[in-house]
Amino acid sequence: MNSFNKPSLLNFEGNTSENLRRLKHYTLQYCIYLTASGSEKKDDTVKIAISLNFAGKDTFEVFNTFQFPSDDEKKVNKVLEQFEWYCNPGKNSLLETPILADNARLK
């Protein structure tokens, strides 16, 4: 396993769009590593462990904040989805609606 380039550490500092860009770059590096090392055939729990090991301590701390339904924490695609959501949580339309209504009244 040591003969292949390993994915770089993940960093979640900065704005969300930059974090999402870094996550996508990391995910690509991670997939290339899994293929090159033959690890893509291993169980998802092993793939998750490989990813968390390469991504670094901060990423592991973020992972520990995730709440998964049932056995989703053992599925690599669900873990990656959680990281994507963490980097880009989206907009809260419930909070934005009253603001839009208030702005309409001011006009």
Q: How confident is the model at residue 106 (pLDDT cuts 50, 70, 90)?
A: low
What is the per-residue pLDDT across 10-43, written as a single tens digit (0 to 9) for each? 888 888 888 888 899 999 999 999 999 999 999 9
Give how far Cα 58 sits from Cα of 53, 63, 74, 81, 97, Å. 11, 9, 20, 17, 34
Q: How confident is the model at residue 98 (pLDDT cuts 50, 70, 90)?
A: low
Measured distance CA(107)–CA(103) in Å, rounded: 7
What is the per-residue pLDDT across 39-89, written as a single tens digit (0 to 9) for each? 999 999 999 999 999 998 889 999 999 998 888 889 999 999 999 998 887
Is pLDDT above 90 for 92? no
pTM to 2 decimals? 0.74
Q: What is the largest CA-CA distance in the chain?
A: 64
- Look at residue 44 in the predicted model and tell me its pLDDT: 93
Q: Report residue 46 as tokens.
A: 């092993």
